[in-house]
């Protein structure tokens, strides 16, 4: 009976030793092992044997959401910890609420357990304190437009402070920035005014560009219209010039042919007189025209000459007439009449075959 009790006791001790001494650590996690209350080693992932009653794992308090939990396994993966919004005051005395998120990773589980009592709480308080310090050195506009600068400053401060805890801060982000309602209303009005200003500027630039394009279009149109009119005038002038030249050439050719035909055909004075009469008949068509035949000019010249002869002869015994103004020089018509009279006298003395003939017509 006593031997049975001893065997049962030994069996229970072996089972207890197997249950408490054999530990399996998952991947990316470790276990801090203490021997007789003193740090012994860090059990890595896989199968680990602990000596019962001598070796024991050390639990670490971590934050999961909004509560803190204790666990004997230390996670080596990158952790994320979000914080509620905190009240901060900017450099220009504006109260606002700022929420942040921090990403960190435990690189030394031993120091994370023994260098700080509560790692999660220490990181939380350190983040809030440094967030107030960084935001207090910036103005409202800088906090709203320089988030990347704030994130970088916070990460550098937290990384330096948590290095001795065996923690590496990889990233810090400002989750939200909530200014007061009055600031929000002022910002909304400012944004509306800025957008209206941009719209007016854009509209003015559009109108300016449209006016410039319209003026350039009118300028080009006028230039093209002027060039077209100039080309048309040049073309019309060249056409008129060509027509006049062709007409003159035609008349010259017709005159030459007529002259050649007259001289070649040896026209008689009777034929020339007939042509002369036909030409006078053609020229006399129409109103308000008067023509003096060529033969009448000789007679008119003789009459004018006789008038001048009788005017020059004065009676010797006539009483002295009153002194008159000096006679004017003969006019061009009188000279022409005298010349015609002399030609008529010369023709009268020449043979009939050599007398001056009337000018031939162009036909």
pLDDT of residue 338: 55
Range from 257-271, 292-306, 343-357 that averages highest in pLDDT: 257-271
User: Is 101 or 270 the better-scoring residue by pLDDT?
Assistant: 101
CA distance 187 to 305: 118
The burial of 212, by beta-carbon neighbours within 10 Å (0-12 exposed, 13-18 middle, 19 or more buried), is given as exposed
Q: How confident is the model at residue 71 (pLDDT cuts 50, 70, 90)?
A: confident
pLDDT of residue 227: 92
- Reference 119, options 106, 102, 138; nearest CA is 106
Q: What is the pTM of this model?
A: 0.49
For residue 280, the tally of other CB atoms under 10 A from its CB is: 15
CA distance 49 to 18: 9
Q: Is the Cβ–Cβ distance between 346 and 298 less than 8 Å?
A: no
Whether the per-residue pLDDT at 254 is higher than 60: the answer is yes
Mean pLDDT within 158-178: 88
Range from 56-60, 263-267, 295-299 that averages highest in pLDDT: 56-60
pLDDT of residue 217: 92
Q: How confident is the model at residue 69 (pLDDT cuts 50, 70, 90)?
A: confident
- Lowest-confidence pick of 136-145, 284-293, 313-322, 338-347: 313-322
pLDDT of residue 93: 86
User: Is 280 or 195 the better-scoring residue by pLDDT?
Assistant: 195
Q: Is the Cβ–Cβ distance between 338 and 303 less than 8 Å?
A: no
- Reference 42, options 90, 129, 107, 138; nearest CA is 107
Average pLDDT value for the chain:
77
pLDDT of residue 225: 92
| Host H or E run for residue 47 | strand 46-49
- The DSSP secondary-structure symbol of 117 reads S
CA distance 344 to 338: 10
Strand partners for 23: 48
pLDDT of residue 260: 79
User: Is 214 or 70 the better-scoring residue by pLDDT?
Assistant: 214
Question: Mapped to the 3 state alphabet, what secondary structure does 231-247 carry?
Answer: HHHHHHHHHHHHHHHHH
Mean pLDDT within 250-259: 83
Coil, strand, or helix at residue 277? helix
Percent of the chain clearing pLDDT 90 (strictly above) = 16
- The DSSP secondary-structure symbol of 59 reads P
At residue 350, φ and ψ (nearest 5 deg) are: -85, 160
CA distance 337 to 342: 9
Mean pLDDT within 218-222: 92
In whole angstroms, how far apart are CA 211 and each of 43, 170, 178, 207, 218? 80, 57, 46, 6, 10
Range from 1-15, 51-65, 182-196 that averages highest in pLDDT: 182-196
pLDDT tens for 102-159 read: 899 999 988 888 888 888 888 888 888 888 888 888 888 888 888 888 888 888 888 8
Q: How confident is the model at residue 193 (pLDDT cuts 50, 70, 90)?
A: very high
Whether the per-residue pLDDT at 213 is higher than 50: the answer is yes
CA distance 114 to 37: 12
CA angle at 72 for the pair 66 and 76, rounded to the nearest 5°: 75
- The DSSP secondary-structure symbol of 164 reads G
């Amino acid at each position: 009976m006593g031997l049975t009790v001893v065997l049962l006791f030994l069996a229970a001790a072996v089972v207890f030793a197997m249950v408490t001494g054999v530990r399996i650590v998952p991947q990316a996690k470790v276990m801090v092992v203490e021997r007789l209350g003193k740090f012994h080693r860090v059990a890595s992932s896989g199968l680990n044997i602990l000596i019962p009653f001598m070796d024991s794992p050390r639990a670490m308090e971590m934050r999961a959401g909004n509560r803190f939990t204790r666990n004997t396994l230390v996670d080596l993966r990158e952790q994320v910890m979000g914080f509620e919004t905190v009240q901060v005051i900017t450099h220009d005395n504006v109260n606002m609420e700022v929420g942040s998120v921090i990403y960190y990773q435990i690189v030394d589980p031993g120091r994370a357990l023994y260098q700080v009592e509560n790692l999660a709480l220490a990181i939380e308080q350190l983040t809030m304190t440094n967030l107030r310090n960084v935001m207090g050195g910036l103005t409202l506009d800088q906090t709203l437009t320089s988030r990347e600068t704030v994130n970088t400053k916070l990460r550098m401060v937290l990384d330096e402070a948590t290095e001795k805890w065996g923690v590496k801060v990889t990233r810090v982000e400002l989750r939200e920035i909530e200014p007061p309602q009055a600031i929000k209303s002022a910002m909304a009005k400012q944004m509306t005014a800025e957008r209206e200003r941009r719209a007016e500027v854009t509209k003015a630039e559009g109108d300016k560009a449209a006016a410039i394009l319209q003026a350039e279009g009118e300028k080009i149109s006028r230039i093209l219209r002027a060039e077209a009119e100039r080309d048309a005038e040049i073309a019309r002038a060249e056409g008129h010039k060509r027509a006049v030249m062709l007409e003159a050439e035609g008349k010259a050719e017709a005159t030459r042919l007529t002259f050649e035909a007259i001289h070649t055909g040896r026209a008689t004075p009777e034929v020339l007189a007939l042509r002369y009469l036909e030409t006078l008949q053609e020229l006399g068509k129409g109103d308000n025209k008067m023509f003096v035949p060529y033969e009448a000019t000789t007679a008119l010249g003789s009459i004018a000459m006789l008038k001048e002869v009788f005017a020059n002869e004065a009676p010797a015994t006539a009483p002295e007439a009153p002194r008159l103004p000096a006679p004017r020089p003969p006019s061009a018509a009188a000279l022409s009449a005298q010349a015609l009279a002399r030609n008529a006298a010369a023709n009268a003395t020449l043979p009939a075959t050599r007398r001056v003939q009337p000018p031939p017509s162009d036909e």
